[in-house]
Homo-oligomer: A and B are copies of this chain.
Amino acid sequence: MKNNCFTRRNMIAFASAAAGLTLVPLQTFARVSTAGKIEKDPKHKKIGIVLFDGFETLDVFGPVQMWGRLKDYEVVTVCQNGNVARSSQGLETGCRYSFDNAPQFEILMVPGGAGTREQVNNSTMLDFLRHQNRATEWTTSVCTGAALLAKAGILDDHKATTNKNAWTWVTNHSKLVKWQPRARWVFDGKYVTSSGVSAGTDMALALVEQIYGKEIAQQTARFAEYVWSGDSTNDPFAITVK
């Protein structure tokens, strides 16, 4: 499948441009040499989405929508066995990399979902997150994905947030994290965490703003006819923690 990606992906790019749908800089593409080998991808940075069985659908695909057209970044998926992962909603997504052959990602994203209950006890997963986190530019999570980062010790001494419906379960994984119960998303250094499910889409746009500025973030939202408040303190699902 990879050998014909040049043709297929450029066809889509052409169609998209022809339809006037391109509001943010279109990605550049992997090139296939005359020998049929894929040459170095000119999108030199990678956003690695960590998948596992039982990930929550929108945790992953809201951010993928918003990050999928950035000019310098390619969105790729990684899971332990490098095969496929089935979401809580039952659909299967292909994993481009396994934990063994994944490159260093510039942006790491850990989604939530019911499957995190199993993954917090998966030492291979926690080791992979720690290994990646050493050299990321940004380490991010959506929803209960924060439980995996917390359990791995990655969020220690940092401010972070998570799903408000699963607050007690997540926050019990580390008392060293400065958990924020009122926040749609939280930036602290290179760590960016979001509240539940849909909040990941807002966090993803906030990261686009951080990297490319407000105008590109707003263009990205408009392209998707997405209503983005842009305000991390606007959290309709905030809770009061005693």
Q: A89-B68, A94-B94 are in contact. Are A164 and B225 (CB under 8 A)?
A: yes
State which of B19, B91, B222, B223 has its C-beta within 8 Å of the C-beta of A94: B91
Q: A91-B93, A91-B94 are in contact. Are A117 and B15 (CB under 8 A)?
A: yes
Question: Is A197 an interface position by the 8 A CB rule?
Answer: yes
Q: Complex Cα distance A20/B163, Å?
A: 12
CB atoms of A196 and B225 under 8 A apart: yes
CB atoms of A19 and B166 under 8 A apart: yes
Per-residue 0/1 for A108-134: is the Cβ within 8 Å of any B Cβ (1 yes, 0 no)?
Answer: 000000110110000000000000000
Least CB distance from A56 to B in Å reads: 8
CB atoms of A12 and B88 under 8 A apart: yes
CB atoms of A166 and B21 under 8 A apart: yes
CB atoms of A91 and B64 under 8 A apart: yes
By a CB distance below 8 angstroms, the chain B residues around A61 are 57-58, 60-62, 65
Please tell me which stretch of A69-77, A99-107, A152-160, A174-182 contacts chain B, meaning at least 4 of its Cβ atoms lie within 8 angstroms of it.
A69-77
Q: Complex Cα distance A23/B197, Å?
A: 14
CB atoms of A197 and B169 under 8 A apart: no
Question: Is A195 an interface position by the 8 A CB rule?
Answer: yes
Q: Complex Cα distance A58/B201, Å?
A: 10
Least CB distance from A96 to B in Å reads: 8
Question: Is A54 an interface position by the 8 A CB rule?
Answer: yes
By a CB distance below 8 angstroms, the chain B residues around A114 are 12-13, 15-16, 19, 21
Q: Complex Cα distance A105/B225, Å?
A: 28
CB atoms of B54 and A69 under 8 A apart: no
Q: A54-B12, A225-B199, A225-B237 are in contact. Are A20 and B88 (CB under 8 A)?
A: no
Q: Complex Cα distance A54/B44, Å?
A: 22
Question: Is A212 an interface position by the 8 A CB rule?
Answer: no
Q: A12-B53, A20-B165, A84-B94 are in contact. Are A65 and B197 (CB under 8 A)?
A: yes
20 contacts between A and B (CB under 8 A): A1-B84, A1-B92, A13-B114, A15-B114, A15-B115, A18-B117, A19-B166, A19-B169, A21-B165, A49-B91, A62-B62, A64-B87, A64-B89, A75-B89, A77-B91, A196-B224, A197-B224, A197-B225, A197-B226, A198-B224
Closest 9 interchain pairs by CB? A68-B89, A61-B61, A16-B114, A196-B225, A92-B94, A15-B117, A197-B224, A58-B65, A198-B226
